[in-house]
Amino acid sequence: MADTPISEEEFQKFREFFYRKTGIQFESSKRYFVDKRLVERIEATGNDTFRSYFTMLRFQASGEELQQLTNLMTVNETYFFREEYQFKCLVDSILPEIVARKSSRSPIRIWVIPSSSGEEPYSIALYLLEHWAGINDWDIEIISSDIDTRILAQARQGLYSQRAIQQLPVRMLQKYFSRVGDGYQLCDDIRSAVEFTRVNLSERADTRAYRNFDIVFCRNLLIYFDDISRKTAAETFYDALNPGGFILLGHSESMSRISSLYKVRKFPEAIVYQRSLETR
Amino acid sequence: MKRILIVDDAATVRLFHRAILESAGYAVDEAVNGIEALEKALQSTFDLYLVDVNMPKLDGYGFLRELRGSELPQAPAIMISTEAGARDEQLAYAAGANAYLVKPTRPERLLLLVRMLIGEVPA
Amino acid sequence: MAFIKKSPGSETLAHEERRFARDCAGLALELESADASERRWAARDLADCPDASALLLSRLQREDDASVRELILSTLTRLGDEVAVLGLVNCLRSENAALRNEAIECMKQLPDEVAPIMQCLLADADADVRIFAVNVLESLCHPEVESWLIQVIESDAQVNVCATAVDLLGEVGSAAARDALLRLKARFADEPYMQFATDLALKRLAAN
Here the contacts of A273-278 (C-beta below 8 Å, separation 24 or greater) are A273/A246, A273/A247, A273/A248, A273/A249, A274/A244, A274/A245, A274/A246, A274/A247, A275/A238, A275/A241, A275/A242, A275/A243, A275/A244, A275/A245, A275/A246, A275/A247, A276/A243, A276/A244, A277/A243, A277/A244, A278/A243
Q: Would you state the pLDDT for residue C14?
A: 38
- Closest residue in A to B63 (Cα) is A260
More confident residue, C112 or A143: A143
What pLDDT was estimated at residue C19?
61
Answer yes or no: is pLDDT of A202 > 90: no
B123 inside domain: no
Name the residue ranges covered by the structural domains of chain A: 8-73, 85-275
Asked if the model's pLDDT at residue C102 lies above 70, the reply is: yes
Tell which phi-psi region holds residue A240, choosing left (phi > 0), alpha (psi between -120 and 50) or beta.
Answer: alpha
Higher pLDDT residue, A74 or C30? C30
Cα A37 from Cα B11, distance rounded (Å)? 23
Do the strands A271-274 and A241-249 form a parallel or antiparallel pair, or are they unpaired? antiparallel
pLDDT at residue number A24: 86
Neighbour tally for C119: CB within 10 Å: 12
The answer to whether the CB of A51 falls within 8 A of the CB of A59 is: no
**Would you place residue C18 in the very low, low, confident or very high pLDDT band (cuts 50, 70, 90)?**
low
For chain C, the structural domain boundaries read 18-109, 113-208
Strands A271-274 and A263-266: antiparallel
Answer yes or no: is B62 within a domain. Answer: yes
Q: How far is C206 from chain A (nearest CA, A)?
A: 9
Would you say A78 is a known binding-site residue?
yes
Say yes or no for a CB contact (<8 Å) between A264 and B42.
yes
Tell me how many domains chain B contains.
1
User: Among C67, C138, C202, which would you mutate to test the A interface (most chain A Cβ atoms within 10 Å of its Cβ)?
Assistant: C67
Inter-chain touch B57–A16, beta carbons under 8 Å: no
Contact criterion met (CB below 8 Å) for A260 and B35: yes
The count of other CB atoms within 10 Å of the CB of residue C5 is: 12
Q: Residue A97 carries which side chain, given as an amino acid letter? A: E
How large is the average pLDDT for residues A96-125? 95
CA of A64 to nearest chain B CA: how many angstroms apart? 23
Confidence at A278, pLDDT banded by 50, 70, 90: confident
Q: How far is CA A7 from the centre of its chain?
A: 33
Q: C-chain residues within 8 Å CB-CB of B62? A: 97-98
Over residues C172-178, mean pLDDT: 93
- Count of C-beta atoms within a 10 Å radius of residue A118: 28
Q: Which of A122, A232, A245 minimizes the C-alpha distance to A185? A: A122
- Topology agreement, domain C18-109 and domain C113-208: yes
Of A23, A257, A271, the CB nearest to B42: A271
Specify whether the CB–CB gap between A199 and A113 falls below 8 A: yes
Q: Can you spell out the DSSP letters for C23-86?
A: SHHHHHHHTT-S-HHHHHHHHHHGGGSTTHHHHHHHHHHH---HHHHHHHHHHHHHH--HHHHH
Least confident of A90-99, B5-14, C137-146: C137-146
pLDDT over 80 (residue C57) = yes
The CATH classification of domain A85-275, taken from the options 3.40.50.2300, 2.60.40.2470, 1.10.8.60, 3.40.50.150: 3.40.50.150
Euclidean distance between CA atoms A177 and A158, whole angstroms: 9
- CATH number at B112 reads 3.40.50.2300
- Asked if residue C116 has pLDDT above 70, the reply is yes
Q: Which CATH architecture has domain A8-73?
A: Orthogonal Bundle (1.10)
- Chain B residues with beta carbon closer than 8 angstroms to that of A23: 32, 36
For the cut 90, the answer to whether the pLDDT of residue C120 exceeds it is yes
CA dist C175 and C122 (Å) reads 22
Instruction: Indicate if the pLDDT at residue C39 is higher than 70.
Output: yes
Residue A116 region by backbone torsions, left for phi larger than 0, else alpha for psi between -120 and 50, else beta: left
CB-neighbour burial class of residue B85 (10 A; exposed 0-12, middle 13-18, buried 19+)? exposed
What average pLDDT does range B82-110 have in this prediction? Answer: 92
At A136 the pLDDT is: 92
Judged against a pLDDT cut of 80, whether residue A4 lies above it is answered with no
The better pLDDT of the pair A199, A64 is held by A199
What band does C15 get if pLDDT is binned at 50, 70 and 90?
very low
B122 found inside a domain: no
Give the pLDDT confidence of A216-240 residue by residue, as tens digits.
999 999 988 888 889 999 999 999 9
Considering only CB atoms, A256 lies closest to which of B11, B35, B43, namely B35
Q: Which residue of A has its CA nearest to C167?
A: A13
Q: C139 pLDDT exceeds 80?
A: yes
pTM score, two decimals?
0.89
Quote the CA–CA distance of C135 and A17 in Å, as a whole number: 14
pLDDT above 90 coverage of chain A, percent: 78
Q: Is A47 annotated in some ligand binding site?
A: no
- Given a cut of 90, is residue A120 above it in pLDDT? yes
User: Neighbouring chains of B at 3+ CB pairs within 8 Å?
Assistant: A, C
Q: Could C127 and B82 be called an inter-chain contact, meaning their C-beta atoms sit closer than 8 Å?
A: yes
Domain range for B53 is: 3-117
What pLDDT score does C59 carry? Answer: 96
Task: Indicate whether C12 pLDDT > 70.
Answer: no
Identify the sign of the CA torsion A9, A11, A14, A20. negative
Average pLDDT over residues B36-47: 96
For residues C100 and A3, which has the higher predicted lDDT (pLDDT)?
C100
pLDDT in tens, B8-23: 999 999 999 999 999 9
Fold of the C113-208 domain: Leucine-rich Repeat Variant (1.25.10)
Q: Is B31 among the domain residues?
A: yes
- Answer yes or no: is A201 a known binding residue: yes
Tell me phi and psi for residue A195, to 5 degrees.
Answer: -100, 125
Averaged over A111-124, what is the pLDDT? 96
User: What pLDDT is recorded for position A28?
Assistant: 84
Nearest-CA neighbor of A148 among A119, A124, A113? A113
Mean pLDDT of A30-54: 93
pLDDT of amino acid A222:
92
**Do residues C130 and C156 make contact, with C-beta atoms less than 8 angstroms apart?**
yes
C18-109 classified as CATH 1.25.10: yes
**Cβ atoms within 10 Å of A90's Cβ, excluding its own:** 26
Give the mean pLDDT of A138-160. Answer: 95
User: Mean pLDDT throughout B95-109?
Assistant: 96
